[in-house]
Structures are given as structure tokens and as C-alpha cells.
Amino acid sequence: MKRIQKVTTNLILTIFCISTLLSSAPVMAKAPDRNPNIRFTTLEPGAFREINQQLDINIVFVGFQRGNGYQQVDETRMRQFLASHYRTFNWQTGFVGNSFDYRYNVRFAPRRFEDSFFSYLDSQRHTECVVTGMQEYYNAEPSHSVNVTENSCIDPNDTERWLGDHARDIGIDPTKYTIFFINWWGRPDFHFHTYSIWDHSDPDPDTGFSRTDYYLYETQAWGGTTPDDEQNGLGSLRRIWFYDLSAGPDYWTNSYDLNTADINGDGYADYRIPPIWEYGNMSAYRPFDDLSGDLSQIVRYLAIDAQFTSSPVFNPALSERLPNSIQTDITYFNGDGGARGQDLMKPSRGLLEMKKLRPFNPFSIAERDVPYTAEHDAAYQCALPYWFGTPTNCYPGRSNASWDMNIFHSDHLNDYVHGNVDYEIMNFAYTLPDVESPGQLLGVAFSMGSYPGFSYDWSIPSNRETIGMSNTMIHEVGHQLGLPHPHDVYDYEDNGIYYQRYFPFMASADESDSVMGYMILSNNYSQFDRDNMDRWMTAININHANALLPDILTHDLQPNDKAHLIAAESAATLALVSYRTMHYRAAAGFAKSAYDNVIFVADRLGTSSTTLENRRSSGQLLEQRPVIEDDTFNPLRRMSDPFGFLRNNPNVVNPMVNADHPKFAKRSSKQ
């Protein structure tokens, strides 16, 4: 089978965050000691508890050598830019209650491991692949160092599995967060290659279309596959992400462009990671002279911030009173003749993934078809210019920075809600002609800081044969539950958010088995998504229980009340024990049990509503630091002047790949 070289469009997902700061600070009440026989050690009545964990991060180099050469790794230099501490930050409400102290375990794989691994890659190559358009673009760059004359495809899921299966051979525990850096370049068995989900694709649930047939979706990184993934489950827990600097160049990482300083047009020179063989090249848009520094940025921003310990974009708590049952309400608006959103949506697939993400909340999906009336169309047409940069004022006196369709849907909320669960996520599925689509968006999620959040899916004729709305719905519901894009991350020590649109190298984080990225290669939430959700919910449940306790303890409790509080304390203790041993799923379950026991007593006493109202009206916030988007917080831009060497040495070429270099000579004779 030959690879199909075709560029597809209209495949861009987006999230638009309209956020209002919410009060999350507990009421700090000093309770009379009416219940001296109840002692809390894990739960802390009225306090905010931050769960700190010392977290080991494995960094494994496969095919690299130690040293100060252009293509060698200086461990001291690499460690210089790594973060030592992190606090999880909810982009809406402040700090969540999780923090980490990182301890780095750096390992250079021995030759026997490298030989075995690269032999495996060689055996897994699909030679039907062709040189991609991105590799051809690279070949045409004025400062490129070698010509890519072949391309093999290797399945990233199989690669991830092999690394996990053999990690313990070199003393690495794959259940701990591990990044494998791979460099095949320079070995006699090297082949130019990319990673393509060849053997375990996860096609669109509605259309059956698979993007793995297109070179735009070949990658150089992958990871985060779950043990129970329907297509390629690993069978046992792994926490692995690999990044192959000798793969590509590929589309997603922008590594094919060596000479354009500012791809995204924001007025700054971009920070991008080139192929490994370009290190030593001083004639590109920036001198590629700091491999070790670049590797540290990959570890910090693409692996840790984006995958291993990320922060929620929306509030995972969902409401002041933590809901038990959660429902996604899908409302179809069919405004394109006979096309029906119901035919482009498989709610069962979404329900399956939601249950895996938050298994301790009973999930359901409800569907409703609401006629696309003239009134609705008039409101939609008025609001549509918003997506093309034109402010709208469809509701004078009420229109604001948000999309005016949110106002329309808020006014008609009773037409969409079902009222049969604790919390409902609104998902509006539009089937429309191309001319009425919001640009190239497939979906969007809004959070207005109040119940409920709204998300939208669009299906239009130009992409209807390739993508339905299930993937978009799963993605946007993920946002409503708190999950961010992998490519948009918060970094605690920098105190800033790195958005892909400002920092193109962040797109590499999408190369993982998560529906939350933009590659649309997966319809499920990754192991990293699950871990992050479980940690957030552990802290949230414990701190919401803490907030309820002071009012409870002002009462003379009955024996049954005391039994529930003792059970809550025991469950919270088990939650932290599980958490610290990285059994995050168990921790989330125990923490929810602690909250459920406390809210049971609060409801019986009638204190829960008063406590929650006080929290809502107090105007207090958890510690909140300003989040900025300019370059003042960006160490990537401060590292060096990307043009200084080029200005002073315009004719310098890469000494690592010139005709006299033995590595290049060996490869040249082979080709």
C-alpha cells in the first residue's frame, strides 16, 4: 500500500476560554470543640490542603553520547533549565491543591539496549512510505545539511510498547513518568523515518476515516497509551512519552523549516527543534548549537507541563457542590437540508471515554433534536461574524467578549436541559452549510464562570466525509471537565501560559494518544489525562470536604454522623497513601468517598447550603498569581540571540555533516 500524499483542510479544533474568576477559598471558621472524640489528621477543617509529592522523572537517552559536541549531551547543561517545583493551577480559579518536587533520573542506555531497540525499529519499518511533502520542503531549504531521499514509517504504538516492555532491562520503572530521547542518526543501520499509526489506528467513530493515510499526520513523538485502549491497549500501566530527534522532519513540529524565523507572524523569532543532524548548523534561522539546552525545554514544557503534570483549563469541580452524576446533553440543530447531526455522532463512544476518565461519577448522555427555526437562524447569523474578527452586538446591553450565541442558548436553557442528574454539560451540535460555518472550527468550549458551560460542534459538507462530531464532542467535553490542550500549558516557575499560537514548538506535545490534541489520531483520553484528572479530583474532594467541616463541627453530632466523619477521615488517609504511591485512580476514589461521607452529614444537618453560599459570596480566591502571555516570562527567548552568529558568520555550514565527516560519508555511500 502506498501512502497517500494529500493535504486535508478544515481539521482544526479550537478552544475559546471565556473565564470569570470564581470563589474557591474555604470559609475559615473556628469550630467549638463539641466533638472531642473526633480527631482529624488528614482532613483539616476549614483549611486548604496542598498535596505535595516528590515525583521521579526518568530521562533516558537512546543513541546519544555524553559530551560537549554539537550532537552530544551535556547533562549539567540540560539540567540547568529543568524545573524543580510545580503547583497545579486552574486557569479559572487559582491553585488546585496539587504540587510536585521533581527529582530527575538521567540514564544513557547501554549499547546492548540501543542495538536491540534500533534492530527492532529496522524490523518494523514500512517501506511503502514515501518522502513526505515536509521532507521535500526541508530538502529545498537553503541551509539544510542533508537530503532526505527515503522514508520509512514505524508504528508509534508498537514503539511505545517495546520501550515499556524493555525499560526494566536498564533499571527504569515504566510506571513512573519517563521520557525516552531517541537518536538513530549516525548508525550504519539508520534509515530516515517517521512514525505513523500503521497497525493500531483509531479511525473517526462516525465516518471510519483514518488520518494515518496522510503524511501530515506522521509524527516524531508519541506516548500516553492506556492499558485498556480499544485499539492498542498496553495491558499494563505505563507512563511513557518518547521523542525521536532523528525522525522526520514532520509537519506538526515545524522542524522542516530551517530558514523562516517567524512562522506564526507574531513578531518574534520562533523556538523550534530541528532534526538531530542539524546540530552544528550555524546558517539556519538560529544557530543550532545547544542540543542540551533544547532537550531540557522538551522535558520541561512538552513532557512535564503538557503531559505528566498538567493544569486544568476549566474547573474540574464543575460546581461549588461537587456533583455525583454527570450528563452530557447533546442538542442537535440541523440546518443543512437532509443532513442530520444524529447520523454524525456516536454518543456511546463518548460515554465510554467519559466513564474511563472519571469512573467514580455515574455518566450518561441525553440527546434532543431542537428545530432550527427562523428565530434561531437569525440569532446565529447575527452572531456568526464573531468568528471572523468582527465584534457583534446581537443583544444590546448584554453582548460582551463572549459569543452572543451563548446568550441565546442561556435564554433558551430550558429547551436543552433534562434535569435528571446533578450536573449537565451542554453540547450543541450544528449541521450547517459551509457558508454558515465559523471558519475552519470543528468545535469550541466556553466557560462563563457559572453553570453550565457550553460547548459547540460543527459539521459542514467540506469535511463531513472525513470527520463526524463524536471526536469533537469528546474533546470539548474533556475541556468542560478540566482537560487542557497538550499544546497549551501552564508553567509554575515561569508563572506563565505557553500557547501554541505564540510558541509553535509546543505543537509537538499533541503527538500523544489523547483526544485533547489537534492531530485527531485518537478518540480517547490518554493515561496522562487520567492521571491528571485523578490527582485534581483527589485534591478537590479533600478540600471541599475540609470546607464543609467547620459548620458541621458546631453541632452536637449523633453517633451515625460521627461514624460518617470517621469514615471520611479514614478514606482521606487512604487517598493520600494511594496518591503518594502513584495509585492515582484509587486515590481519587477514596477522596470522593471522604467527600461523600462529609456532604451526607452536612445535608442531614442542613449546613451544606449555608457553607456553599458563604463560599460563593465571600469573594475570596485561592492564591492567584497573574498569568501573562508576553515574552517577559519566556526563558526560551532569553536563552540566546538567534541571529547573532548568523549575522557575523553568514557563510558558516554545519561541520557535523560536511562531506569530510565520517558519518556523512558512510551514509552517502549507502544512498
User: Do 535 and 568 fall into the same domain?
Assistant: yes
pLDDT digits (tens, 9 = 90+) for 548-568: 999 999 999 999 999 999 999
Grid cell at residue 647: 549575522
Start-to-end C-alpha separation, the chain? 23
If asked whether residues 281 and 331 sit together in one domain, one would say no
In terms of domains, do 223 and 119 share one? Answer: yes
Does 438 share its domain with 472? yes
Confidence of residue 265 (pLDDT cuts 50, 70, 90): confident
Same structural domain, 118 and 146: yes
The helix (H) or strand (E) run that includes residue 538 is helix 527-552
Of the chain, the percentage scoring pLDDT greater than 90 comes to 68
The predicted pLDDT at position 185 comes to: 97
> How many other C-beta atoms lie within 10 A of the C-beta of residue 210?
16
Of 466, 481, 496, which residue constitutes the final position of a domain?
Answer: 481
Q: Please check whether residue 28 lies inside any domain of the structure.
A: no
Q: Name which of 33-47, 372-386, 388-402 the model is least confident about.
A: 33-47
Residue 25 lies in a domain: no
| Separate counts of helices (H) and strands (E) for the chain | 16, 15
pLDDT for residue 12:
28
The sign of the dihedral angle between the CA atoms of 581, 582, 585, 587 is positive
Does 463 share its domain with 548?
Answer: no
pLDDT classification of 496: cutoffs 50, 70, 90 = confident
Tell me whether residue 114 is in a domain: yes
The DSSP annotation for 264-310 comes to: S-SSS----PPPGGGTT--SSSS----HHHHHHHIIIIIIIIIIIT-
| Calpha distance 464→307 (Å, rounded) | 31
Q: What predicted TM-score, i.e. pTM, was given to this entire model?
A: 0.89
Give the model confidence (pLDDT) of 163-194 as tens digits: 999 999 999 999 999 999 999 999 999 999 99
Q: Which is it for strands 94-108 and 51-62: parallel, antiparallel or unpaired?
A: parallel
- Report residue 541 as a C-alpha cell: 474532594
pLDDT value at position 639? 42
Beta strand 363-369 with 326-334: parallel, antiparallel or unpaired?
parallel
Domain of residue 461: give its range. Answer: 326-481
Closest CA to 540 of 582, 490, 491, 599: 599
pLDDT, residue 450, reads 57
Same domain, 241 and 127: yes
pLDDT single digits (tens) 350-359: 999 999 999 9
Q: What is the pLDDT of residue 654?
A: 64
Residue 447 in any domain: the answer is yes
Please check the confidence at residue 667 and state whether its pLDDT lies above 60. no
Is the separation of the CB atoms in 162 and 116 below 8 Å?
no
Q: Please report, for residues 117, 187, 198, 330, the alpha-carbon distance to residue 63 in angstroms, rounded to integers and kept in the order given.
A: 10, 9, 24, 49
Tell me if 153 sits within 8 A of 126, measured CB to CB.
Answer: yes
Measure the CA–CA gap between 50 and 490, rounded to whole angstroms: 18
Q: What is the DSSP string of 603-662?
A: HHHT-HHHHHHHHHHS---S-----B-SGGG-HHHHS--TTHHHHH-TT---TTSSTTSH
Grid cell in block for residue 147: 537530503
- Check whether residue 194 and residue 233 sit in a common domain: yes
Taking the CB of residue 144, how many other CB atoms lie within 10 A of it?
A: 24
Same domain, 248 and 369: no
* 117 pLDDT more than 50: yes
| Count of domains forming the chain | 3
Q: Are residues 160 and 295 in the same domain?
A: yes
pLDDT of residue 25: 32
pLDDT for res 266: 79
Classify strands 454-459 and 423-431 as parallel, antiparallel or unpaired: parallel
161 vs 623, which has greater pLDDT? 161
The residues facing 491 across adjacent strands are 496
Task: Give 438's pLDDT tier (boundaries 50, 70, 90).
Answer: confident
Residues 334 and 226 in one domain: no
Query: Which residue stretches of 124-180 are H helix?
Result: 133-139, 156-166
DSSP classification of residue 91: T
Where a domain ends, among 481, 514, 548?
481
Pick the closest to residue 298 from 52, 83, 447 (CA basis): 83
pLDDT of residue 497: 84
Pairing mode, strands 51-62 and 240-244: unpaired
Residue 603 CB partners (closer than 8 Å, separation 6+): none
The reply to whether 559 falls in a domain is: yes
Decide if 221 contacts 508 (C-beta within 8 A): yes
Residue 272 lies in a domain: yes
- Contacting residues for 654 by C-beta, under 8 A, at least 6 apart: 145, 277, 278, 279, 280, 281, 282, 283, 288
The answer to whether residue 498 sits within a structural domain is no
Mean pLDDT in the chain? 86
Are residues 99 and 195 located together in one domain of the fold?
yes
